[in-house]
Amino acid sequence: MSNQATLSGLSCRKPHFILVPLAAQGHIIPMVDLARLLAERGARVSLVTSPVNAARNKGIINRVMESGLPVHFVELQFPCIEAGLPEGCENMDLLPSNDHLKTFFDALSLLREPLARYVQAQRPRPTCMITDSSCPWAADVARELGMPRFIFHGPSCFVMVSFILMQLHGIYDRITDDFEPILIPGLPQPIEVTKAQAPGFFNLPGWERLRSEVLQAELTADGVVMNTFDDLEHSFIELYKKVTGKNVCAVGPLSLCNKDLDDKAGRGDKSSIDHRRVQSWLDSRKPKSVLYVNFGSIARLRPCQLIEIGCGLEASNQPFIWVIKDVEKTPEVDKWLSEGFEERVSTRGLAIKGWAPQMVILSHPAIGGFITHCGWNSTLEAVSVGVPMITWPYFADQFLNEKLIVDVLGIGVAIGVKLPIFYFSEDGPPAAKRDDIERAISRLMDNGEEGEERRKRAKELAEKAVRAMEGGGSSTENIAYLIRYALEHGKKDSEEEEHNA
């Protein structure tokens, strides 16, 4: 048998996954991790992206390439101009305003034909697709080609099942007041929210079609993949299975697949600061003494809010690393930072302006707390390394994640924000003032019984997270299940193709 034939025979036995993330940092990053995990278990993976997103993720893409794993990054041209978006607007965090959100999802759906052409052209034929739940057009491609298909849910299982229960029990239709406190029906413990805090996905006038396509894509999927782990969300995973009848593959915390410092540093975008500099800054601090502050990739904080945060951090007297996004760095903020603040806190504070190497920071033993917007990736990344949190949600799933962190898991202190701020809002006072921030920090970092208990619970969860990702762990087993499923349900197609070729 020639080398070529041997390779061809081997590749035929390998499942080939097509991964389609939503074009947002909080969805691309975990999918890249998932691609690596599948490839490490012997699968071939094609991850669909676009030129701007591939350039931003170049660091981690290069690391994957160098590792020799069979992961291929497929760049489809993003149809910005055709859809009416500014050129280069290929990621949710690049949108100029809330008004562009709908156009962004319309643009994404135009990728359906190019994706179908790509998948059809592959030999041997891809065996399984994992598509983000917000990309039902990608699910259509799998359906048309008769491929097994899983939906990837970016949020926690707790959030997904809560939204479904609220829908099933008619909360969204029945309750007219967005700010009326309601108990989520059917959960194992009482959790109170308002509709404004738990709005469901795409549950807005004008979004009906996308919402129905998203629900349909999930209903007809072979199962769902979630970035969570059984020991963290067991009761919600079981409830989700019961309510939807769907198989759930909990495969997280995906961030833990990044063992090497350079892998951790390369996630999502090029860090605006050398990660070795951050590392050595942290090395000089006492264990669990530093507070890390980062609000993820999408929420945009106004100058007045940033100044309140700065004053709260200064008043707290704690060492801190504070991340301010490029888009937030207005002349007003820059002036405030440079005219006194940075100098006053220079011995104990580090302000990172731009993209931060979050996993490098969070996994350092000097980190003792995290002020987070409760995006699910940030939440799970903190859980995976045992860091308790100050919860400061902005929108979407974040208020429910706060409930999970504070009320269910007992590893967080709520800053006390009750009203969502969607994406960017131009007016109103800061959601939390310097005193609220200082108070929450002193509660979280406190060495008394309450703080110790919280730290203990966070540490136990981190140990369980690591076990889930080890050999024989629940998440590792679920990755193995995905590979088996793809082989069993997609293999015949590949063989036929190979045979006919």
d(CA 247, CA 353): 42
* Shortest reach from residue 359's CB to ligand UDP, in Å: 6
Nearer to ligand UDP, 39 or 396 (CB): 396
Q: Which positions touch ligand UDP (CB under 6 A)?
A: 24-26, 29, 267-268, 294, 296-298, 323, 355-356, 358, 375-378, 381
* Shortest reach from residue 16's CB to ligand UDP, in Å: 26
Burial 47-63 (b: 16+ CB within 10 A, else e): bbbbebbbebbebbbeb
* Shortest reach from residue 25's CB to ligand UDP, in Å: 5
* Shortest reach from residue 418's CB to ligand UDP, in Å: 19
Nearer to ligand UDP, 240 or 355 (CB): 355
Tokens of 288: 């669990």
SS3 state at 272: coil
Nearer to ligand UDP, 141 or 306 (CB): 306
End-to-end Cα spacing for the chain: 18
d(CA 139, CA 128): 11
Nearer to ligand UDP, 111 or 298 (CB): 298
* Shortest reach from residue 333's CB to ligand UDP, in Å: 16
Nearer to ligand UDP, 14 or 364 (CB): 364
Note whether 383 and 394 are within 8 A (CB): no
SS3 state at 157: helix
Nearer to ligand UDP, 267 or 403 (CB): 267
Q: Which of 141, 142, 160 is nearest to 215 (CA)?
A: 160
CA atoms within 13 A on the CB side of 143: 16
* Shortest reach from residue 293's CB to ligand UDP, in Å: 11
In order, the DSSP letters of 114-130 are HHHHHHHH-SSPP-EEE
Pairing mode, strands 192-193 and 223-226: unpaired
* Shortest reach from residue 93's CB to ligand UDP, in Å: 7
SS3 of 436-486: the string is HHHHHHHHHHCCCHHHHHHHHHHHHHHHHHHHHHCCCCHHHHHHHHHHHHH
Nearer to ligand UDP, 263 or 381 (CB): 381
Nearer to ligand UDP, 25 or 197 (CB): 25
* Shortest reach from residue 426's CB to ligand UDP, in Å: 19
Give the type of residue at 484. Answer: R
Nearer to ligand UDP, 268 or 319 (CB): 268
* Shortest reach from residue 381's CB to ligand UDP, in Å: 5
Residue 9: how many other CB atoms lie within 10 Å: 11
Edge-to-edge strand order for the sheet containing 389-391? 349-353, 320-324, 290-294, 367-372, 389-391, 412-414
